[in-house]
Structure 1
Amino acid sequence: MAGPGLLERTPSTKRPPVRSWLKVKVRALLNLRRLLALLLVFAATLFGGYLALVSFHDEDRLSVGEIRMSIDPGHKGALDVYVPLVDWGARFEAIRAPLRVKVDLQTIDRTVAQSLAEGKSLDVQQVRREARDALANYLRKLIALVVAAALVLGLLVAFAIRSRVPRLRWTSLLAIVTSLGIGVALVVLIPPRGEISDPQYYAHGPDIPRALEAVEAARRTSGVLDQELDAQLVGLARLVVAPGRRRSLADQPVITVASDLHNNTVGLGVLERLSNGGPVFFVGDLTDRGSQLETSLVRRSAHSGKPFVFVTGNHDSDYLARALAGEGAIVLTRTGRMREDGTTDKRLVHTIEGLRVAGYDDPYERRSAESFKDRYDSVPDPVEQDKFTGWLMPLIGKVDVVMVHEPALIAPALQILKDKPPQQPLVFLVGHTHKADLQKQPGVTVINGGSVGAGGTGNLSEPTALGIARFVFTLKPSFQPLAADLVSINPGTGSSSARRERLDPTG
């Protein structure tokens, strides 16, 4: 029999001590507690700074009136100058932080307004200095307050959760460093940098074109009171009073330029309101396929302007073009104006609203005989580009406006015109890209209003603004482009903006 000594030496399975396992668990919990405490202090510091940023505003009085300055975060960086009384303003994209510095003109000094009405001039340099000082003072106060609020809330949370894990000196140091970091970021990112130019006019409703007209139509006895927001007023704008310096746009002919509805009939209502019974030049893609059903949806577009001038896009069809011609629309093609039966009058240039207009139907438009199948090519090939250039060149000097859906189609022709500018102004109206754009070169202007259908009913996954353009011109003593307004409307909120570009040589 085995003795007791032998039994004691029998091998057995060893288990880790319970105490070691508990130490590992406690250490993990302590580390998690440290991390959560630090994150809480960090978040509280950021939140304190954010509260101060969005809540602080300041008022200051300039010689022209009283302004209110505030911050609106969560937007593309910009400086907004806004007049609540008339619900319009100007936006300068001169700030790198994702927020808008808002300057609202609350009141206008009655004495200044009266002196302007009597023909007296405004001391622009004084307004510049006052505005610069007001904005700089506001930003200094804002940054100091944000840093202080961030530090206070961060330290309060640090003291509220003070314990040995983590120690107070670490949480308080985190609050101090974070607050200072916020201050440095604000100093670097908020103040406007570089030249403040190219204002984008905006309003909170769909009536921005009327606001633009109001700016141009302001008058006084000695001539035109031309008001504009100028790039030289640091952080704000300058009010320029220069009577008679520019040609007034009041009472000048205007056409509405639109394209790319893509069956979104909501855009037709906007088009009808903005055209206000005036001429509409539609540069293709009323539909997605140009089928009979789609044509019935958009047929009313032929009556959205007087007249309604149309060229096809790659998403339109010969069936749609004939239907619009039957409704009284002026449907232009490379061989002339289309009749309801599909034939053309062979006249390449037609006089419309005093303008000499030609249109080029899209080479990839769909055909009813082919069941409206897709004939789209992403980029027109050189053969199609050469066809367009060969069609256009004999018309130079005989035409004022050329309508063509695809911008890439006209690229070689633009290069030729750049090397040899036309003697008389020439304007191209294009579409297709769904992005508003304005290009200028000597003697030539290219206007793209964007997508009046906000990308269309088949483009709901990509946020696209509803875009439209207004082209202002004069016929006296001869055709001369004066201005282009690129109007953008948010289809969700109805808020709108517009960028006005002067096209006349004195603009």
Structure 2
Amino acid sequence: MDGQRDERHDDAEDRGDPVTGGEPSRPERRRIARPGGPLRRTGVILAVLAVALAGAVLGVLAGGRVNTDIGPFRANLTLSPASDGGTTIDVPPLGALLLDSHSGPTHLTVRLGALDQGRTEALLDDPASISRASQSAVEDVRSGVMRLGLRTLGSAVLVTLILAGLIFRNVRRTAWAGGLALLVTAGSLGTAAATLRPQAIEEPRYEGLLVNAPAIVGDARRIANDYTKYAEQLQRIVGNVSQLYTTVSALPVLEPAPGTTRVLHVSDMHLNPTGWQLIRTVVEQFGIDVVIDTGDITDWGSEPEASFVGSISLLKKPYVFIRGNHDSGKTAAAVARQPNAIVLNNSTTTVAGLTIAGIGDPRFTPDKNTSPAGSGLTQEVADQVIGVGDQLAATVRSSPRPVNIALVHDPASAGPLAGTCPLVLAGHTHARQVSKLPQAAGQQPTALFVEGSTGGAGLRGLEGEKPTPLSMTVLYFDQQKMLQAYDDITVGGTGQAQVNLERHIVQDPNAGTPASVTPTPTR
């Protein structure tokens, strides 16, 4: 009899409340009023929520993918749960573009497959078809993403219903779990749509083989923040990749925008020969017009080290150099002997249409900071470091031609240059940083770009837990010699091969928060 009453109680629950079993009878209400009743109700609610979330995640992982055509490619679009959103365009075996396209909790991966035989033959026979095919890329992506969203919703709900049915064996609880899964999945997709940032395609981050980077990322032409320009950039990327897949002899040469000047900023080589290999690759693949080196090309400034600078002549591009605190007068003289090198010491030069002013570091301290501890600066040395900035500022102001770029080794020397020129390049700290120099009212804004170590800080780069990465920056100047964009290139330290390229568009020269610079300990 007791067993029959328990069965009737269970049946009454199933006929009642959708979560906890419905409206109980008076005896049952008395039972629920006991201490275990509210706990049971809470436990069931939490169980339904857990099953709904688990089902939604499993459904997205299982069904959140579609195959579609994007321009001339067969592509696979995949959605996956993520905390920070974003989009990855995977172009095997060339690398991947990472875009900050939207906020979480979903990440979109677009994997471009190889062209089929018929399309490949058509592209080879008629190169103009590449352009025509890429024109449809935007609509293809939009259609594919819509189908992906609907498929993901259906998969999330279906998997949740199956999972809840197996666990609860209760129609109403299963329906509630399915409804919650639909709400969670739709909310996630809605969040992605509401936070969509089409302009993110202006500043992609590239990971893969460095030689492919300029072809996949494209040129640095400034793109306005509207959908039309976004579409043009997407079409150009698709066109670039199409050319890569259909060119058998060499990678395509990208023509820069008319009048674009490309500058490669390197610093703190510290005798690492790997740095030269990386520089040569970037100079060739990115069509660099001039290389700027902000010092510490050697470690001790000794005469035997002078042979290290011989690789400068192999670049066959103008090489503008200033001395760092690890470079001696002999080092500077060895650089000056290279046929394509220009050594600046409180002087100016005009190269590739750019007027560049530079000054060497006032110190020669090759024995400093060979360990991570380093040492602070005395007031006398700090005054010297800031003093060279004053000297160069006077030279810039007296220059018969407006100076486009000023060079110092230690960023602490940059302060006096605020308002004298648009851009100051420095090194020394082995850490990349971009900031604005404090400016007085009426002065032009001045940006300070501090480069990391192109040589991975030499042997000292192996002293930490991880090798210091090799870093350099490609700067793009327009016809008026104003900075329009820059690519931060980072290669994993000694023994590593990871390559990262991050594109930055200079939107507003007045944007940004001014940052003060203090004298830097000797490195």
Match of 1:187 in 2: 189
Cα deviation for residue 397 of structure 1 reads 1.2
Q: Which runs of 5+ in 1 are unaligned?
A: 1-30, 160-167, 218-225, 336-347, 418-425
Match of 2:11 in 1: none
The amino acid of 2:110's aligned partner reads: V
Q: Which runs of 5+ in 2 are unaligned?
A: 1-37, 240-253, 438-442, 508-523
Sequence identity (%): 17
User: Mapping of 1:129-208 within 5 angstroms?
Assistant: 129-150=139-160, 152-153=162-163, 156-157=166-167, 179=181, 182-183=184-185, 185-191=187-193, 192-197=195-200, 198-200=202-204, 202-208=206-212
3-state SS, counterpart of residue 196 of structure 1: helix
Cα deviation for residue 69 of structure 1 reads 0.9
3-state SS, counterpart of residue 349 of structure 1: strand
Match of 1:223 in 2: none
Please list the CA deviations of residues 162-207 of structure 1 after superposition, one character each: whole Å capped at 9, or x if unmatched.
xxxxxx8999699568735642552244335244332315242222
In structure 2, C-alpha distance between the alignment counterparts of 1:120 and 1:101, rounded to whole Å:
25
Match of 1:18 in 2: none
Going from structure 1 to structure 2, the CA distance change for 1:172 and 1:437 (only over 3 Å counts) comes to same
In structure 2, C-alpha distance between the alignment counterparts of 1:155 and 1:297, rounded to whole Å:
74
Going from structure 1 to structure 2, the CA distance change for 1:375 and 1:58 (only over 3 Å counts) comes to same
User: Mapping of 1:486-505 within 5 angstroms?
Assistant: 486-491=488-493, 492=496, 494-499=498-503, 501=505
> 2:157·2:179 contact (CA, 8 Å) conserved in 1?
no
Please list the CA deviations of residues 460-495 of structure 1 after superposition, one character each: whole Å capped at 9, or x if unmatched.
4589764322345699xx978786433234555524
Going from structure 1 to structure 2, the CA distance change for 1:170 and 1:461 (only over 3 Å counts) comes to farther
3-state SS, counterpart of residue 419 of structure 2: helix
3-state SS, counterpart of residue 361 of structure 1: coil
In structure 1, C-alpha distance between the alignment counterparts of 2:191 and 2:83, rounded to whole Å:
14
Match 2:365 to one of 364, 367, 370: 367
Cα deviation for residue 67 of structure 1 reads 3.1
> 2:88·2:99 contact (CA, 8 Å) conserved in 1?
yes
Does residue 101 in structure 1 map to residue 96 in structure 2? no
The amino acid of 2:425's aligned partner reads: L
Match of 2:472 in 1: 468
Cα deviation for residue 269 of structure 1 reads 3.9
Deviating more after overlay: 369-378 vs 135-144:
369-378
3-state SS, counterpart of residue 239 of structure 1: helix
The amino acid of 1:282's aligned partner reads: D
> 1:132·1:233 contact (CA, 8 Å) conserved in 2?
no
TM (norm. structure 2) is 0.59
Going from structure 1 to structure 2, the CA distance change for 1:302 and 1:281 (only over 3 Å counts) comes to farther
Match of 1:405 in 2: 409
> 1:38·1:174 contact (CA, 8 Å) conserved in 2?
no
Does residue 239 in structure 1 map to residue 232 in structure 2? no
In structure 1, C-alpha distance between the alignment counterparts of 2:319 and 2:71, rounded to whole Å:
48
In structure 1, C-alpha distance between the alignment counterparts of 2:419 and 2:323, rounded to whole Å:
24
Going from structure 1 to structure 2, the CA distance change for 1:416 and 1:349 (only over 3 Å counts) comes to closer
Cα deviation for residue 208 of structure 1 reads 3.6
* Number of residues of Structure 1 aligned to a counterpart in Structure 2: 426
Cα deviation for residue 68 of structure 1 reads 2.2
Match of 1:258 in 2: 266
3-state SS, counterpart of residue 405 of structure 1: coil
The amino acid of 1:394's aligned partner reads: S
Match of 1:24 in 2: none
In structure 2, C-alpha distance between the alignment counterparts of 1:396 and 1:137, rounded to whole Å:
62
3-state SS, counterpart of residue 227 of structure 2: coil
Q: Please give the root-mean-square deviation of Cα atoms over the aligned residues, in Å.
A: 5.7
Deviating more after overlay: 367-376 vs 382-391:
367-376
Cα deviation for residue 142 of structure 1 reads 1.8
User: Mapping of 1:1-20 within 5 angstroms?
Assistant: none
Does residue 358 in structure 1 map to residue 357 in structure 2? yes
Going from structure 1 to structure 2, the CA distance change for 1:296 and 1:37 (only over 3 Å counts) comes to farther
Does residue 91 in structure 1 map to residue 98 in structure 2? yes
User: Mapping of 1:204-223 within 5 angstroms?
Assistant: 204-211=208-215, 215=218
In structure 1, C-alpha distance between the alignment counterparts of 2:66 and 2:129, rounded to whole Å:
32
TM (norm. structure 1) is 0.60
In structure 1, C-alpha distance between the alignment counterparts of 2:469 and 2:81, rounded to whole Å:
21
3-state SS, counterpart of residue 414 of structure 2: helix
In structure 2, C-alpha distance between the alignment counterparts of 1:230 and 1:44, rounded to whole Å:
41
Match of 1:283 in 2: 294
> 1:325·1:331 contact (CA, 8 Å) conserved in 2?
no
Match of 2:67 in 1: 59
In structure 1, C-alpha distance between the alignment counterparts of 2:486 and 2:163, rounded to whole Å:
50
In structure 2, C-alpha distance between the alignment counterparts of 1:67 and 1:298, rounded to whole Å:
52
> 2:386·2:412 contact (CA, 8 Å) conserved in 1?
no
Match of 1:317 in 2: 326
Going from structure 1 to structure 2, the CA distance change for 1:388 and 1:250 (only over 3 Å counts) comes to closer
Does residue 434 in structure 1 map to residue 431 in structure 2? yes
Going from structure 1 to structure 2, the CA distance change for 1:88 and 1:351 (only over 3 Å counts) comes to same
Match of 1:13 in 2: none
Going from structure 1 to structure 2, the CA distance change for 1:196 and 1:284 (only over 3 Å counts) comes to same
In structure 1, C-alpha distance between the alignment counterparts of 2:87 and 2:129, rounded to whole Å:
30
Cα deviation for residue 83 of structure 1 reads 4.0
Going from structure 1 to structure 2, the CA distance change for 1:358 and 1:284 (only over 3 Å counts) comes to same
Going from structure 1 to structure 2, the CA distance change for 1:269 and 1:152 (only over 3 Å counts) comes to farther
Structure with more helix by fraction: 2
The amino acid of 2:159's aligned partner reads: A
Please list the CA deviations of residues 67-89 of structure 1 after superposition, one character each: whole Å capped at 9, or x if unmatched.
3211366685322344447x255
The amino acid of 1:59's aligned partner reads: N
